[in-house]
Structure 1
Amino acid sequence: MCYNKKVITILMHYTHMVKKRTIFTTILEQLSSPDILLLNGPRQVGKTTLLKLLKEYLVNQLHVPETHIHWFDLDRVEDLSIWSNQATVFALLPIKTTERHYIFIDEFQQSKNIGSIVKVLHDHHPQFKIILTGSASWYLNIDESMAGRKRVIPIWPLSFEEFLQWQHPELVSYYSLAKQNSSALTETLCLAVNTAFIEFSTYGGYPAVVESKTAKEKTERLSELINSYLLKDIQHWNYAANTLQVKNVFTLLAHQTGTELSIPTLATNAGLGRTALLNRVELLQQTFMLHVLKPYFTNRTKEIVKQPKVYLVDTGLRNSLAQQFTLQPLTPLFGLVAENTVVSELFKQATITDSIQYWRTKQQQEVDVVIVRSGKPMPIEVKSGIARDIPTNLKHFIRLHAPERAYVLNWSTIRDEEYEGCEILFRPLWFPV
């Protein structure tokens, strides 16, 4: 079943209630599938709002009776208590009905028993379409009861395209033109969007931050987000982890974004042992605060194979932790943050089969990002300044790995080149790859 036309209608109809998220189309397309639908991602990126919009869509567009929609918020003690016991759940639901019903469970990971209960509902009561939201990824790894039964849709902070739609609608046509016809890109068009890209890189894409009016309000919101995360997620998932220690590690990683993760150095700087440090880094990763890029390699003797690179999920969080909100174009700090922005955008754009990595040799030749699609590598170099030539390291990667296409994302150079049979596209930093 295709919902695309209805999606446009409903999103326009409810603009007074919620601004557009492009992922909503994907969610609607999964309504008719038998899979358990899981919207998983960091706290406060809009998962609950998407559930509310979905409920409105079901009621007003598909004319589903409200009595056929069952909503549970497991941050509420009462609802959490219900989902701690299968008998309690079944007593509340119309188990014997043959009509289509929808079960919405917000923050499902709060319940330790929910996996087995949801499995029984899915396997024996197919009249229920189950839609969950979650804020931690490791629950999915340890709970095998939903294996083969779920479709996971990552929900991230706003993409740059969504940010433009929300805050700079006058620039959306430029961005759309760039996506549809890159030959129409001009330096003037590029520079017009670059200003918005700096703003986006400064404060990030959390909806509440984007909608805050002043710089002071935005920085306060970001601080609140970090403190809320430390108080809620850290205390829930790891009682042994001191929140001040976690924040210290988080802050150190914010200063080191885009660099190889050296566990001994980080442990020393954090004043923690190796095991304790790894525990806290894993905690940050599994609660969607970090993107960890593993190295791409085909030759173990010449290429780095183990040491990962780390980026924060949102540059607003990164800048808040580092207390660095003054980004000037063509400076080292802007280069560091812009690379983090690009990596975060790539994760938002990635398909389920994409692998986002980086490449470095033992002779320190490096390519910032390598996307592996269908087994084929596509290297991406991020240059915050004006890229005039093909980077030397990119040439080396092309000679070794023979990719079909490569990107040089930079401040304003727009052109296509060819090197050793590889198409090299020079595009703006914000260009969707």
Structure 2
Amino acid sequence: MGQFAEDTRRIHKLLSDVLKPTPLQHSQYLSDLHQADIWLKREDLTPVRSYKVRGAYTFIREALEADPDRSLFVCSSAGNHAQGFAFACRHFNKRGVVFMPLTTPQQKIQKTRSFGAPLVDIKLLGDGFDAANKAAMEYCEAENGLMVPPFDHPTIILGQATVGKEILEQSPEGYSWDRLILPVGGGGLAAGITQYFAQTGEKTEFTLVEPDMAPSLHESLLVGERIRLDRVDNFVDGAAVAQIGQENFKQLSKFSPEQVVLAPTDGVCATMIDMLNIEGVVLEPAGALAIDALNRLPVEQVRGKKIVCVISGGNFDFERLPEVKERALKFAGLKKYYVIQLPQRPGALKDFLSLLGPEDDIARFEYLKKSARNFGSVLLGIETKRPENFQLLHESFDRSDVRWEDITYNEAIANFVI
């Protein structure tokens, strides 16, 4: 067994002071759905509802062992790292300061405050992570604090690697896992687990999953070096990172781009709704990545295999639920938006309604422009029970005198009117 694995075991023993092992649960629903043996590592069930507490606790503990008199810790985060950091500061009775963007949802601010009170202060600065991070680093230098990074540090990686140790310890007797599916943002979790498995001699295959609109690892693997993305979509906020960590990429660079699944945002939303409705499991977008990857992998890599999906977190703000549901319906082909032009005459609306099928439901109807001209423009949202119903609806439109345009995936128009 290598030194990294030995260090991971040491760290895991220290973690037991504050963190019980999270469950490794068999999912009958996912197993039946994919004709496989699917298990879930439930990191959403830690005290702070994500694995991030492992790395933050480990980092602060190691820092205090080196310098017991250290009194101030600082971090920048808009999510799970902030909560894990606050939890650790309170445990060690040390002052902490968290820098968050002004755009951070109140739910995350309140949870961070509750985990760290009364020792952790929250400072809101800037419109995004980069501005908050810059302010945190300047504050840290001015106040002689210690910055606690979210992922790019060997000690953080060690803390996250304890998830892998628990998976092996909790595996049913005689089990040898065919595949582990791991979400990737900054790369701390994946770097830790894959290295631990390698040093313990496990032959498990790995699938790494990133949001398709924040593929920092995938793009770096394509060119063979770390690159910074010019733009990321922050919807999957727990994994929306513009550049994979330097320490993390040292470990993950051995993987090929083909081993990285890019999960579409709307598909992730569909997975979140599916798990909530059927399994009663609340997932944040990043927490759904590993489960969603089951739908993207070739069938031969899933069917009949023993697979663990790591659920990285469940800190979901339910104010986002309407948008998640909306995206899920669109991904499933069950909801579309149109701009239609109805003739300005009595009975035109009644005639239009007769075009709808028995499973079609109007979810939105709004006049965009109404005048004395021959036609009036309407924004129309329609939900249905089966995707093929839209083809029948389009055929009905074409046979009528309705002028129509499908704007469901026209981003410029849809973002303006929907």
TM (norm. structure 2) is: 0.30
Greater RCO, 1 or 2 (C-alpha within 8 Å, sep 6+): 2
Q: Rg: which structure is higher?
A: 2
- TM-score w.r.t. length of structure 1: 0.29
